[in-house]
Structure 1
């Protein structure tokens, strides 16, 4: 997982970001003020999310101090929407500026894209024996033959395969794929799992059911004798 340092004095905002991000591919390291944020900064941090108005030292000063030693991207997240505030943030070394309130999904997408650009070794194609997924082009192959998936089916399969051997509860899957604003039936997950398994054909055992809880993805190595 990518490591992102979140320096924000508002507990609720930290909780929303941390909860949304860590169900996916980003680990959030929390700091409640600038001093704590600077103490937690290290070379493995791939991105900093930085508030401006905080007790002690403000985000501008924190940005300056980070820039003395580190070159990782910095995204300001602030309720200050005036042009002067944004220009100052960029002049001090900020890479982007997002005003509050914001959608966690948009912030996450922006952070993930930046983190991936910082990681030239990341592979966008993953092979699980008979199953191959091209995460860049959203393409799925079974025994080298491309299989068509709907957008939602693909997103669900991608989420499962990026969390192999990890039990994913239905509510967790709903939050990750449908979002926090989804108020439908949790059994929608089961419906899509059935559709995906049908397309996987004889390799549908890659997706394991944990009764009354959820699902987990196994790459099929232990089941090769079933082919």
Structure 2
């Protein structure tokens, strides 16, 4: 997997060291000589931002603040300011991590690679089931490319069913997952919410199938349309 990192650093020697080390390990470095340059080069292909704090014109804190107005791209601060208050300020502005100068390129690379991989896994939290698409990260559901309006409990039910797709789930299992083990209500609450979700699935309500006297199984696919 090839990652693209935006390096915002005014020190040409540091940029050179990082770029040379990362290039040998299949990570593309986009160089920015200051904060304004960095803001102009940030785009949707950027996987991570390495950001210096002390720069001419606009410091790293302000750059981070501006980025956070429109992007959640991971930001790793790099700075010779190693005091606790500087690190806390970096996190308050929206930074994801902090590494103090001087640092070993190998350590910085390992840190960046770990963050990029986590970010990739997080972004892949969208799954498709026939005409149904679920974004588990943002709790959004689309049916035939139209977003469904679900209550919190309805979403949790659909999430649980799809994450356990093609597995037979008893009413008790669903009840424990959604209401908790200390819930003493009637298991028919599950049936009630199944009906609510099916109604919103419309002609695709067959995605949720009933196993008589046992429970339910989610089988999203073209063959489950009604």
TM-score by length of 2: 0.53
Number of the residue aligned with 2:201: none
1: CA distance between counterparts of 2:25 and 2:98?
22
Query: Are 2:45 and 1:44 aligned?
Result: yes
2: CA distance between counterparts of 1:121 and 1:34?
27
Aligned-pair Cα RMSD in Å = 1.4
Number of the residue aligned with 1:140: none
1: CA distance between counterparts of 2:82 and 2:65?
20
The SS at the match of 1:118 is helix
Q: How far is the alpha carbon of 1:120 from its aligned partner?
A: 2.8
TM-score by length of 1: 0.52
Number of the residue aligned with 2:191: none
Q: How far is the alpha carbon of 1:95 from its aligned partner?
A: 0.6
The SS at the match of 2:120 is coil
Which consecutive aligned stretches of 4+ in structure 1 deviate over 2 angstroms post-superposition? none
- What do the CA deviations read for 1:160-192 (whole angstroms, capped 9, x no partner)? xxxxxxxxxxxxxxxxxxxxxxxxxxxxxxxxx
Unpaired runs of 5+ residues, structure 1, are 123-227
Q: How far is the alpha carbon of 1:61 from its aligned partner?
A: 0.2
- The total of aligned residue pairs comes to 122
2: CA distance between counterparts of 1:81 and 1:112?
22
1: CA distance between counterparts of 2:37 and 2:52?
13
- What do the CA deviations read for 1:54-103 (whole angstroms, capped 9, x no partner)? 00000000000000010011000000011111110000000111000000
Structure 2 counterparts to residues 2-41 of structure 1, below 5 A: 2-41=3-42
Q: How far is the alpha carbon of 1:109 from its aligned partner?
A: 0.6
Number of the residue aligned with 1:118: 119
Shift of the 83–23 alpha-carbon distance from structure 1 to 2, 3 Å rule, reads: same
The SS at the match of 1:70 is coil
